Amino acid sequence: MSDPTVPTRDDADAKAWFYLDHRHDIETWAALRVEGRQLLDKHLVGVATQLEELAEELDVELESNDLDSGSWPRAGLRRPVWQHNGTADVSVVIQWERARLLTPGSNEWPYVAVRLPADAVDEERRRQISEAMRPVRAQLKGSSGRTFPFWRYVQPPSGALNPDALIRDVLIAFRELWDTAAPALDALHTAAAQPVQRP
C-alpha cells in the first residue's frame, strides 16, 4: 500500500490551518468568555448606583429592572410627567442582554436607549415618540425599533477591553442621550398636557 496523499497547505486556507494547529489553545481561551461576561456584567450592574446619584442631581426618577438576575438588565431615568394614560411608560436607559454579552454578533455590547414597554399597545403613542426621536437618531447616529424609538450600542475601542473604561463610555453615551432626548420628550409631554383650544 502506498503512502496516502496529503494535501499541501494552501495559503487560501491559512486561517483554517491556524485554527487546527492551535485549536486546543483557542478553545481554552474562548471558554474564558463566560468569566469575562460575568465580570463585565458586574461592572454594568454598578451603573445603577451612578444613575441613582444622577437622578437626585436632575430631580428625576430612577428606573431599573432585572439587575440581580434576569436576561435583560437595565437602569435608567425618567421624568414623572413622562406618562401616557396615567402610566410612566418611557425612559432613557442603559440595557444589555446577559447571555449575549461579549459574544460576537447582536447584543455583544451594552446599549443606551429610549425605551417603551414591549407590551404597550397604543401604536399612536409609539409613533409620536418615534417621531420625537427622529432628530435624536440623526444627531446621535442611533437606530429604532418597536420597543426602542432610539438605541445604539456602546462599543469599546478594539484591543484589550477595560471594564472601567467601557462603563465610563456607557455613562458618557447615556448622559449624551439624556441631554438630547429629554428635551424632545419634555416637549412631547408638554404639548400633550395642553388643553385643546376650540374656536
Residue 32, domain member (yes or no): no
Per-residue model confidence as pLDDT tens digits over 36-93 = 999 999 999 999 999 999 999 999 999 999 999 999 999 999 999 999 888 888 999 9
Residue 28, domain member (yes or no): no
Asked whether residue 94 carries a pLDDT value surpassing 60, the answer given is yes
Asked whether residue 154 carries a pLDDT value surpassing 80, the answer given is yes
CB atoms within 10 A of CB 73: 24
Q: What is the pTM of this model?
A: 0.86
| Region 30-36 average pLDDT | 91
Residue 12, domain member (yes or no): no
Asked whether residue 176 carries a pLDDT value surpassing 80, the answer given is yes
pLDDT score at 30? 86
Task: State the chain's mean pLDDT as an integer.
Answer: 91
Q: Are strands 91-95 and 83-84 parallel, antiparallel or unpaired?
A: unpaired
Residue 71, domain member (yes or no): yes
Residue 115, domain member (yes or no): yes
Residue 78, domain member (yes or no): yes
1 or 139, which is more confident?
139
| Integer Cα distance of 64 and 48 in angstroms | 7
Asked whether residue 3 carries a pLDDT value surpassing 80, the answer given is no
Residue type present at position 32: L
Asked whether residue 197 carries a pLDDT value surpassing 60, the answer given is no
C-alpha cell at 119: 407590551
C-alpha cell at 146: 418597536
Residue 65, domain member (yes or no): yes
pLDDT score at 9? 77
- Residue 193 contacts residue 81 (beta carbons within 8 Å): yes
Residue 181, domain member (yes or no): yes
100 or 194, which is more confident?
100
**DSSP of 50-86:** HHHHHHHHHT-EEEEESSSSSSS-EEEEE-TT-EETT
The structural domain count of the chain equals 1
- Residue 174 contacts residue 187 (beta carbons within 8 Å): no
- Buried-state track 95-120, b at ≥16 Cβ within 10 A, e below 16: bbbbeebbeeeebebbbbbbbbeeeb
pLDDT score at 87? 85
| Integer Cα distance of 48 and 63 in angstroms | 9
Q: Which domain holds residue 49?
A: 39-193
